[in-house]
Each structure stands twice: as structure tokens, then as C-alpha cells.
Amino acid sequence: MKIKILTLFPNMFTEFKGESIIKRAIDKGVCSIEIIDIRQYSHLKHKNVDDTPCGGGAGMVLKVDIVTKAIRENANSNSYIAMMTPQGRQYNQEIAIDLSKKEELILLCGHYEGFDERIRAFVDDEISIGDYVLTGGELASMVVADSVIRLLGDAIRKESYEDDSFSTGLLEYPQYTRPIDFEGMKVPEVLLNGNHKEINYFRKKESLRKTLKRRPDLLNKYSFSEEEIKILNEVKKEENF
């Protein structure tokens, strides 16, 4: 997969590309990440990329002619272009999975007061990572790229993300490792007995319990099996719901 990030601050991505799973994915050829400086497409003397808003107001607005040129010179028929903006659709694991199937992903980072509205005509998607405002789209693009890359090929083992929170529609079950007893807090005995049927039941039950307590809204969209309905009813009884 090819990922291109259009940004005004390319140096922000140096460590992002050079560490951990992202670096290993690049080294394995699972993906490539190209960081593209939007300023190089500016025709202005001082490489300005923004201007004051028409009608007045605070801040500066990214220019449609310059940003569009950057998009056009880096996109092709296989590109999927996503604008990072707080006005976009709320990002989630389902979108990450969908984006991981694209051949080439272009992430457009905004800055300053925002984009000239006409730029929206040249993108395929608008993505928000939350209901808050960042100084720019760079951090948001890293979040999207990271979540997509970990789903690709051999970036990580498949079983490492299959049971992630939100991958199944529920929050992930609690995880433990050694020491078995830490200051009186013990790993649940069921996880130590080697009975995989009991372990799977425990994990499903605790996944449902955690979701019920922390994100009950997810249960409204979840498609339950008969067994899961029984387990959830057990959990509700135990938790006095």
C-alpha cells in the first residue's frame, strides 16, 4: 500500500516513519509512506499557501489553487484522498479496515483557520478523529495511517488485532501477564488452567462486561448470538443492571 501525506510541516513525520511497527512495515515492503510538502506547489514568491478569509474574520485559509495543485500532481486513478478535518465523519475501526483495502491513500492535512471550501470538491472523504480541534491535521493523519498500517499484510500478526477493541464490535477483554500475583492482585485462575473452552468463555464474558460498563452504546449496534445473549444476561445480573 502507498500512503502519501500532504502537509505544511513534513519534519513532524520523521520519527513517525522511523520507529516501531511503522518502520518495520516500511522495511518489509508492506507499505510506503511519502511525505509531501504542500509549499513546493506554491507559485508565490515566499511560498505562501494561505490568505485572509473572504468577508473578514480571524486566521488564514489554505488556498484552493495551491492545495488542488498538490493533490492533482500526486494523485492517480487508484488514489483515495481523505481530508483531515474536525468537520469530517467520526473515525472508527470500521473505516480503518475499509481504508486498509485501498491501493493508495492520500491524507490531506489542514492548518491555520482551515481549507478553502472549494478544496472539498477534490477529495473522496473527510475524516475527524474526534470532536475537538487540533492545530493541524498532521497528528490526525498519523492516527489514521497507524491504524491502517497495522491491518496490512505482515505489519503485525493477524491474531494481534483480530480481538482488538472495536474489531469485533465490543471492547477487548482484559489482558494479564506475569507476575501472577502483584501486591495481592492476582491473574484470574481460569487463565492459568489451560482449558481453552473456559478461557474463551471468560474472555467473551469479560468483553461483554467491559462494554456494558464503559461503552453500552456499542451494544445497541452489536449482532448477538444466542450464547452471547445468555452471557450478557449473566453479566447484567452480576452487575445489577
Read out DSSP for 149-203?
HTTSTTSS-HHHHHTSTTTSSSPPPP---S-SEETTEE--GGGGS--HHHHHHHH
Give me the percent of the chain exceeding a pLDDT of 70: 95
* Overall fold of domain 181-239: Trp Operon Repressor; Chain A (1.10.1270)
pLDDT above 70 for 161: no
Q: Which residues are catalytic?
A: 86, 113, 150, 164
- What is d(CA 110, CA 92) in angstroms, rounded to the nearest whole number? 20
- What per-residue confidence (pLDDT) applies to 162? 56
How does residue 167 score in pLDDT terms, banded at 50, 70 and 90?
low
- What per-residue confidence (pLDDT) applies to 166? 64
Q: What is the arithmetic mean of pLDDT over 84-89?
A: 95
How does residue 113 score in pLDDT terms, banded at 50, 70 and 90?
confident
CATH classification (class only), 2-158: alpha beta
Whether 38 and 67 have beta carbons less than 8 Å apart is answered as yes
Q: What is the arithmetic mean of pLDDT over 170-198?
A: 95
Residue ranges covered by each domain of the chain: 2-158, 181-239
pLDDT above 60 for 170: yes
The least confident of 140-154, 158-172, 224-238 is: 158-172
Q: What is the arithmetic mean of pLDDT over 75-90?
A: 97
* Residues 33-64: tens digit of each pLDDT: 999 999 999 999 999 999 999 999 889 999 99
Find where cell 478535518 sits: 85
- What per-residue confidence (pLDDT) applies to 168? 81
Q: What is the arithmetic mean of pLDDT over 204-228?
A: 96
- What per-residue confidence (pLDDT) applies to 155? 72
* Residues 124-142: tens digit of each pLDDT: 999 999 999 999 999 999 9
- What per-residue confidence (pLDDT) applies to 158? 57
